[in-house]
Amino acid sequence: MTAPVDDTAPDAASRPFREAVIDLDAIARNVRTIAQRVAPAEVMAVVKADAYGHGAVEAARAALAGGATRLGVADLDEAFALRSSGIDAPILAWLHDPDADFARAVAADVELGISNLAQLERAASALQGGPARVHLKIDTGLSRNGVPEEDWAAAVARAAELEREGRLVVVGVFSHFANTSRDVDAAQRAAFERALAAAAEAGLRPATRHLASSEQAIRDAQARYDVVRIGIGMYGLTPFGDGTTCTDLGLTPAMTLRTRVAAVRRVTAGTGASYAHIWHADRATTLALVPLGYADGIPRHASGGGAEVLLAGARRPVVGRVAMDQFIVDVGDDRVEAGDEVVVFGDPATGAPTADEWAEAAGTIGYEIVTRIGPRVARTYTGGGPQGAEPRRDPA
């Protein structure tokens, strides 16, 4: 639960030791930028996994303010949390425990992603003042959940029968790209078209056909259909692995991860630093201790990978092994003191590294970097309309 805080003090000491600042206006702008690009398709803002670490309720509200018309989550508990916060926009949940409470979902007006006949029957039995609203998912090649193409005709026939009986409403048909290659994307889109044709032949008329996530929504107009699901793009990171940056896409990273220098040490040439001494100083230099580690989501795999932080007006290299609670940066002969602000990643317009750059250093993707930020890191929210003029803090 966020609460107003007094953030007017001029010194950094008034802030949490470890902090992720979430710019809700950036989320709204990113959604608006993508919505304009994909129109007339609607935007479903994906806020699963606590909105990729940004805070689901706050991010959902910002996305809706930016023009999203729907919300997407993985499981029902995530959907119920949004409903409990007062959010009444359409919500789709698509990954279900075998014993998930579909009756509660129908009562809360949560739309259900359906991936097999058993789920379909359970949804049809969950009448709670009205029928379940479902989106039928077809597996077009990701080989996770979703009805296999060979079972699709039977699934849509049964769904049409249940719809005629008034036991459910098929409001959507969807699938998910594997993000493999243009040829594989084209094959998946063709499979999706076959699924839509079979659904129509069975008598279904879903109003929300959706296939594209951020990557295809931005680059493939043919994949947009009625709705696009926007996840990483709304948080201002790139969905592409080809060197395209958030700046290239007109997007602004919403999360700034920052802390303060915990200690400073002058060392001589040859001095080893951190576990296993994978790094030794090649000259006399100053090391600054940053109190964030893999317990907070800093990837240990970034050790020696070229990761940097913004400190004292310049980018500084991370040296030595990232530990559970801390890592070290080399500041050379520049003056740095305990208490100086360290920006681990954020908006590149400020000179900070991006989460995508940290991902490259760790051999992973930006999605993982922001989503894994741990509970010791307080979230502070800025922006978000008139009510966001005062920063609001969610204590760690």
Q: Domains of the chain by range and CATH?
A: 24-235 (3.20.20.10), 255-376 (2.40.37.10)
Per DSSP (E only), the strands in 35-185 are: 42-46, 70-73, 91-93, 110-114, 132-137, 168-174
Other Cβ atoms less than 10 A from the Cβ of 85: the count is 13
Torsion angle, alpha carbons of 151, 174, 46, 41, to 10: 180
153 phi, psi to nearest 5 deg: -60, -45
Q: Is 167 annotated as a binding residue?
A: no
The one-letter amino acid code at 357 reads E
Cα separation, 148 vs 178, whole angstroms:
15
Cα 218 to the chain's mean position, in Å? 16
Q: Is 324 annotated as a binding residue?
A: yes
Q: Which two tokens stand for residue 309?
A: 């932080």
Q: Which of 188, 95, 104, 111 is nearest to 144 (CA)?
A: 95
Question: Which residues are part of the catalytic machinery?
Answer: 48, 275
The one-letter amino acid code at 170 reads V
Q: How wide is the angle at C-alpha 15 spanned by C-alphas 12 and 20, nearest 5°?
A: 110
* pLDDT for residue 242: 85
The one-letter amino acid code at 220 reads D
* pLDDT for residue 3: 39
CB of 24 within 8 A of CB of 2? no
Question: Which residues in the chain come in under a pLDDT of 70?
Answer: 1-13, 385-396
SS3 112: strand
The one-letter amino acid code at 217 reads A
* pLDDT for residue 11: 55
SS3 185: helix
* pLDDT for residue 127: 86
* pLDDT for residue 380: 96
